Structure 1
Amino acid sequence: MKKHLFPKNFFCRHSKLVAPDLIGCYLTKKNNEKDQIKGIIVETEAYSQEEEACHGFHKITKTNKSLFGKPGTFYVYKSYGIHHCLNIVTDKENFASGVLVRAVFISKNNERLASGPGLVTKIFGVDLSFNSLEVLNNKSLWISQRKTTIEEKDLIQTTRIGISKAKNIKWRWYLKNSGSVSKRLKGDRMPKSK
């Protein structure tokens, strides 16, 4: 199984550089030998301790500790005590920086099946047990490099969603031609279903 197709220091960069590069990459969850779910990441958001919307803006806590961890690991947290959110830790250790996986397109399914961070973790069965796992070095949940080139014109860059602070920072990216995006920029029409 070829999972390690990322450049060596891919995750050791600022979250705002990693986030658009994760669009088009594959998220795969293996439940057992025969049962596997795979989809294409179509929407991401970047967070960094330099800005107030980041969980690590104030300090390191028991809950956000893994966000300060090794780049290329998962940071999973529970949002509003209801649903889990899947993030990839980026940049460097002891610095809170991560990319939230906001939406995933799963072929041969309803395009809206995983069109939001809570839906992504629900469909992929992600919970706190995946927190701090290495993205490329585990047998149950991983990300693999995209097979096609995605150019800047294929992406929409806009502001993040569902935050009350640092709302004007344009650190959300999504694939323009995807119907699985959680929320489109005003005036950007939903593409026709495939």
Structure 2
Amino acid sequence: MNLADRNFFKQNATELAPKLLGMTLCHVNSKGLRKTGIIVETEAYMPDDPACHASRGKTKRTLPMFEEGGMSYVYLIYGMYYCFNIVSGEKDSGQAVLIRALEIPDHSHAKEAAGPGKLCRYLEITKEQNGILLAKENNLWLENSVKLQPFEIISAPRIGISAGKEKLWRFYIKNNNSVSKK
């Protein structure tokens, strides 16, 4: 699969979320330092989902969610933590995949990216990366990494939300120690 091909991101968030597992998320920070991590946990958010920011329509905050798949959507929670999402679907569909946890390649920072706020802090992702196309020239991109078998992917209820908890739209790699919560 060619990650430069935006068609990969045009699928629904519920289809894209498990396919992102095992891919490497890369970011080059303002000092030119490249940081990476393997995606081990995701959550899908669809437009008719009460937990989805786009479910109430377009706002200044949610505009990136209405772009064509392959864009970034970064927002602040609790006034202190950024969360990184990959927009999915066709333009104006209002859906995205929250990246919940990364496995750091050298394992020395194992828990530093186990949670959406922690992974943004580790990769140094901020509002500066909101609404950009995932591409090397934008210093934020995905690379193919680990090829997973279907039995290695767990589907579970999403966490940290009050509405739509019953949906099994949280995906993580089975037996991975970097998952934020099991």
Give me the TM-score of the superposition, normalised by structure 2: 0.93
Report what 1:16 is aligned to: 14
What fraction of aligned residue pairs are identical, expressed as a percent? 35
Q: Does the residue aligned with 2:8 lie in a helix, a strand or coil? A: coil
1:149 Cα offset (Å): 2.0
**What is the CA-CA distance between 1:79 and the residue it aligns to?**
1.1
1:72 equivalent among 58, 70, 82: 70
Output the CA distance in 1 between the equivalents of 2:31 and 2:124: 16
Structure 1 residues 30-61: Cα deviation after superposition (integer angstroms, max 9, x where no partner): 13686211110000000011110000111111
Secondary structure at the aligned position of 2:53 is classed as: coil
Asked if the contact 1:6/1:144 (under 8 Å) is kept, the reply is no
Equivalence for 1:134 = 133
Please tell me the root mean square deviation across aligned C-alpha atoms, in Å. Answer: 1.8
Provide the C-alpha distance between the structure 2 equivalents of 1:113 and 1:18, rounded to a whole number of angstroms. Answer: 25
Query: C-alpha distance in 1, partners of 2:54/2:156?
Result: 22
Quote the residue 1:162 is aligned against. Answer: 160
AA partner of residue 74 (structure 1): S
1:47-66 matched pairs, under 5 angstroms:
47-66=45-64
Which structure's residues are more often helix, by fraction?
Answer: 2
* Aligned positions, number: 181
Q: 1:29 aligns with which of 27, 31, 34?
A: 27
Q: How far 1:7 moved relative to its partner?
A: 5.3
- Distance in 2 between residues matched to 1:11 and 1:34, nearest whole Å: 27
Q: Tell me how far 1:123 sits from its aligned partner.
A: 0.6
Alpha-carbon separation, structure 2, partners of 1:139 and 1:106: 21
Unaligned runs of 5+ in 1: 185-194
Matched-pair contact (CA < 8 Å) for 1:6–1:145: no
CA shift at 1:136, angstroms? 2.5
Which structure's CA Rg is the greater one?
Answer: 1
Aligned twin of 1:91: 89
CA distance in 1, matches of 2:116, 2:173: 15
